[in-house]
Structure 1
């Protein structure tokens, strides 16, 4: 014969009192849970959902079972399968975050444990609106509920269908029996509220006792700061009238229903006796604690969740003149086909709050106003990379020195130090993880679900920045900031540029973009003594697009003075329809042909040669940008460059001859 083993020692129950969980329509959520159980023949485990874009919906197998069981009832009053399934898929079992469902199912009614199908961290749904498929692991409390549900299957099925929002008449005695049973199994739940500087940890027995001290009184369960954890869900449950002994409103608090004082007094004594026999131990941590399957400590490993993570995260800063090809290099050399890429741009008004996140007001579906941390793009991609350890993530920061980068990064600046080698006393984080962790409660709660966890950039997240070296930039990057990046100069060269682009002629001038660029850049570098940071003023190979170089011949007059004549006729209001169409055609062509001078000539006049225009421009002849561009537009072919000094025009010709040879 066999003997039993020693009893299993279960971990202490973490009440997760700091989770900002919100679960509106609690009655509908519990009702659908019980429908799942009944339709699936009382299972021990149920994977109930499947992906539907960024949302989830009922699984095909469960959908079939639900329709088979409940169709005869809802169809009898004219409700279609589609209407029924719409109610199902709009239930909070599919809409709410996992953490809210954990608090309700595991900590209040204890009807099921719930987890993601792929064992991701419980905090994975905090940022963004994406929902992931989930699995229910039912408890013995479902068997207790089933003793009532199975006693009259048809009547209780009607009750559950009405709870999920279908307009089905029900017997009040059946609903009352189910409500009482739900109250009975929830009496061990624990709640927390803040009253001034005092934190009150209480259960419903505490509420009953306070009410019975003076039966005409009410108990205020509003948190003076913000309702969190199970308290939020308790308020939703009381609003849904899930406790048949009590009435509740946010303004008037909790009170005893008329005529039920004696019944509640007797019931409270039974609850008190039951609680005195409970051997459940709680962890009363004020913040969110580690959730099952998030991290497991083993020996010297700090978090064995990291063992399968992609390694090699880097901080890379590409710098060079505007248009040298920094963004092109990122796309072609650093981003793989399956990389998950987020791109943002720093600017003078960009702040730490924009980048990391900030506290903002939030109105829940039940109308409660709270203040919650809203993550910025850095925290969001940090979270996504953490919960998807086998995917590569890249955060691209364009124009990193146009914002005050050290201020924008704040304390996250420390995370840019990456682990580069395995040591004898290794912490077993992968290569590419932040070498040092920082304390940031808001980021830690969003990413890990644990405010006490040290924040690190995971090894599967790289950060790539771009920086223009032109002196028009707003901020400079100090050495302490730059040393934490792998610096790479992107040479201003045509070697990697598509020949069709490099050799494209500028409008009708016969001068190619490459030859123009090389000639001007030689002059810029040669003029170093008269220009500040002359090298950084060069034209980048990608300073323009191919479309900026194309010439639209429709801008040319077909007859002498055609354009001016059409403009005069337009002023007089005597244009024919054919002339009107021609005028539109000319103006469209002129807009195309202005792209190059408005971008390149303007840059040379206003920036590169701002203090030495006479070096390349015929300033005796053309003394304003307006005059320069007008002459360029009114001329044809190579004569467009008459705005430049003779030596500059000669350089264009020499470059063209060299290129042809």
Structure 2
């Protein structure tokens, strides 16, 4: 007899109250989302859109989406032309908005589905800059089945409502439209909003708006007019304005009840929202994944358990990862290791090594590597968060370094390893010794966390025989595919990680300290030279080089220069010339443009030495003439008597 598959506990969704999300024309987005579900046979998920497209040019609209709308309309006796539909879909947020905005709207507000990119190498933030949108997959919730029940008595009228919402000139059944709006409002009753950015902003739900209005206030400020508004609140205002919250209207920046509404009916609805919020919060207290009863909850970590930051050299990947770790992780709970070509599994996980004992004698003992050390700390201190940061993960062979623990990277939605691996014999003794050093209080803490019925001995035996990553252990890494000698990652390894791309200009406005003065990196002026002192803005010079390398030399973006390619400390006047030669020119000559010298450097500069000497005397004239088109008018040469000379 087969038993049901066990419940997989999910982590709480990030409320995204500090993200810059918005969703213009929410009715059109909702209608197209529902329409794609119906037209594709009511599946669990739908892939839609072309691989990529500019948001200003219809985003990811393609013939498949247009055909789906046309066929859906035709099935319900509403013939529409292809060009007509294309014009209706122009501006539809489902095709033109960023994925982060779509997830905020449909995960957190209307609870209809969740979005992801079909390209697994794209970070969730890939659409933040550049105006490019990418093909997506939407996975639907069972709320679509409730909408299906609403449509079943009269599918033609329901289709008319959806088509009207996307912009088609079709009359819609106002009664059915009102029922759809009411159902969407029920779905959104538990969504969280915030009046403004910062600690002073008020977090609220729609029931809180009802409560404030029912207490005699004519209007309620859902946004602070003096502060920046972020997160789902940027979706709430247009949603109310478009009638998706049938009891509410917008007056300025405030919400008010629609005139003529029965206060008794509104009060009863608000009470039901409160009860719904209460009964939807269920506590799970069974088995290994139980929620602690007598300890404070772990600080939330909204980032993925396995995360890789990647981007061009000098984009500040390590810095951003360090900043990300400062919030949820105590300083002593952050471990760091750098991979290099000869780095091995034994160094990463652990192995027997010569050791010096207390008497000074040389003996052999098992020495844990950074992975096992972080793993044991996380297992033995379940009320703390731990992260292992791997710098330059692809400068070693990652599949070989991880070895059998690679299997542990498959995580459930709760953060536990989906599968365990057996503990090698040489590791068992070390784990037993580490566990034996725990205090009585630490043992009690473990017993309370993992299972009320599990004593420490059972936990110890389990830990000595099986490895499985706990949800409080995170593994984050950086990588740059442009480095020489890097190892390629196979698909099986990559799909177990979330990737986050750091754009070539993402850190250009960061605050840096140059000779005890704090400046924006994009404002830093550098100088160099011998016979005359050249001055320019570092960011202008960097961007000119990048434009030249990208357009004329045809280098990929991962070979370009990030804003931190020259460290801030080397941007000071006394150091920049040497740093530029040792870092930028050496990188271009020996690595990025190694086979393309004639396309980059002036024809009379045939050696790296000649390039460096000429840089002091000629400045940016070391590059071929084509470089000037990207740089002209930006550089200023200043003679020794400081008379300004415009190049």
Provide the TM-score with structure 2 as the length reference.
0.50
Match of 1:290 among 300, 303, 306: 303
Tell me how far apart the structure 2 counterparts of residues 309 and 497 of structure 1 sit (CA, whole Å). 23
Question: The residue matched to 2:50 in structure 1 has which SS?
Answer: strand
Decide whether the 8 Å contact of 2:103 with 2:114 is kept in 1.
yes
Tell me how far apart the structure 1 counterparts of residues 269 and 88 of structure 2 sit (CA, whole Å). 35
Which range moved further: 87-96 or 170-179?
A: 87-96
1:50 CA drift (Å): 0.9
Tell me how far apart the structure 1 counterparts of residues 66 and 198 of structure 2 sit (CA, whole Å). 48
Decide whether the 8 Å contact of 2:44 with 2:140 is kept in 1.
yes
Tell me how far apart the structure 2 counterparts of residues 108 and 128 of structure 1 sit (CA, whole Å). 27
Match of 1:19 in 2: 19
Q: How does 1:304-343 map to 2 (within 5 A)?
A: 306=477, 309-310=480-481, 312=483
1:247 CA drift (Å): 1.6
Match of 2:239 in 1: 237
Question: The residue matched to 1:34 in structure 2 has which SS?
Answer: helix
Tell me how far apart the structure 2 counterparts of residues 38 and 67 of structure 1 sit (CA, whole Å). 13
Match of 2:100 in 1: 99
Match of 2:72 among 37, 51, 69: 69
Decide whether the 8 Å contact of 1:16 with 1:288 is kept in 2.
no
Does the C-alpha gap of structure 1 residues 53 and 27 become closer, same or farther in structure 2, counting only changes over 3 Å? closer
Match of 2:422 in 1: none
Match of 2:256 among 234, 254, 265: 254
Q: Deviations over 1:32-57 (max 9, x none)?
A: 11111111111111111113543543
Unaligned runs of 5+ in 1: 315-339, 345-351, 359-374, 379-396, 410-456, 467-473, 491-495, 505-513, 515-533, 548-602, 609-661
Question: The residue matched to 1:13 in structure 2 has which SS?
Answer: coil
1:278 CA drift (Å): 1.3
Task: Kindly name which structure, 1 or 2, has the bigger radius of gyration based on alpha carbons.
Answer: 1
Q: Deviations over 1:116-135 (max 9, x none)?
A: 11132211111121111111
Tell me how far apart the structure 2 counterparts of residues 123 and 484 of structure 1 sit (CA, whole Å). 34
Decide whether the 8 Å contact of 1:343 with 1:398 is kept in 2.
no
Question: The residue matched to 2:69 in structure 1 has which SS?
Answer: helix
Q: How does 1:397-546 map to 2 (within 5 A)?
A: 402-403=534-535, 476-478=573-575, 482=579, 485-486=582-583
Does the C-alpha gap of structure 1 residues 258 and 484 become closer, same or farther in structure 2, counting only changes over 3 Å? farther
Tell me how far apart the structure 1 counterparts of residues 29 and 273 of structure 2 sit (CA, whole Å). 25
Question: The residue matched to 2:11 in structure 1 has which SS?
Answer: coil
How many residues are paired up? Answer: 396
Tell me how far apart the structure 2 counterparts of residues 32 and 544 of structure 1 sit (CA, whole Å). 52
Which range moved further: 264-273 or 100-109?
A: 264-273
Tell me how far apart the structure 2 counterparts of residues 353 and 177 of structure 1 sit (CA, whole Å). 48
Tell me how far apart the structure 2 counterparts of residues 263 and 94 of structure 1 sit (CA, whole Å). 38
Q: Deviations over 1:432-478 (max 9, x none)?
A: xxxxxxxxxxxxxxxxxxxxxxxxx9999678999xxxxxxx98442
Match of 1:638 in 2: none
Tell me how far apart the structure 1 counterparts of residues 303 and 573 of structure 2 sit (CA, whole Å). 41
Does the C-alpha gap of structure 1 residues 503 and 307 become closer, same or farther in structure 2, counting only changes over 3 Å? closer
Match of 1:163 among 162, 165, 190: 165
Tell me how far apart the structure 1 counterparts of residues 46 and 305 of structure 2 sit (CA, whole Å). 18
Does the C-alpha gap of structure 1 residues 280 and 190 become closer, same or farther in structure 2, counting only changes over 3 Å? farther
Match of 2:36 in 1: 36
Decide whether the 8 Å contact of 1:47 with 1:134 is kept in 2.
yes
Provide the TM-score with structure 1 as the length reference.
0.49
Question: The residue matched to 1:188 in structure 2 has which SS?
Answer: coil
Does the C-alpha gap of structure 1 residues 24 and 5 become closer, same or farther in structure 2, counting only changes over 3 Å? same
Does the C-alpha gap of structure 1 residues 286 and 261 become closer, same or farther in structure 2, counting only changes over 3 Å? farther
Match of 1:274 in 2: 276
Decide whether the 8 Å contact of 1:74 with 1:80 is kept in 2.
no
Tell me how far apart the structure 2 counterparts of residues 178 and 497 of structure 1 sit (CA, whole Å). 65
Decide whether the 8 Å contact of 1:21 with 1:100 is kept in 2.
yes
Match of 1:144 among 138, 142, 146: 146
Tell me how far apart the structure 2 counterparts of residues 228 and 130 of structure 1 sit (CA, whole Å). 22
1:28 CA drift (Å): 1.1
1:481 CA drift (Å): 7.4
1:253 CA drift (Å): 2.9
Q: Deviations over 1:75-124 (max 9, x none)?
A: 55xx5221112322531111111111110011111110101111322111
1:227 CA drift (Å): 1.4
Cα root mean square deviation, aligned: 5.4
Match of 1:132 in 2: 134
Tell me how far apart the structure 1 counterparts of residues 620 and 117 of structure 2 sit (CA, whole Å). 50
1:158 CA drift (Å): 0.8
Tell me how far apart the structure 1 counterparts of residues 180 and 273 of structure 2 sit (CA, whole Å). 18
Match of 1:598 in 2: none
Question: The residue matched to 1:199 in structure 2 has which SS?
Answer: coil
Does the C-alpha gap of structure 1 residues 64 and 484 become closer, same or farther in structure 2, counting only changes over 3 Å? same
Decide whether the 8 Å contact of 1:51 with 1:132 is kept in 2.
yes
Decide whether the 8 Å contact of 1:179 with 1:243 is kept in 2.
yes
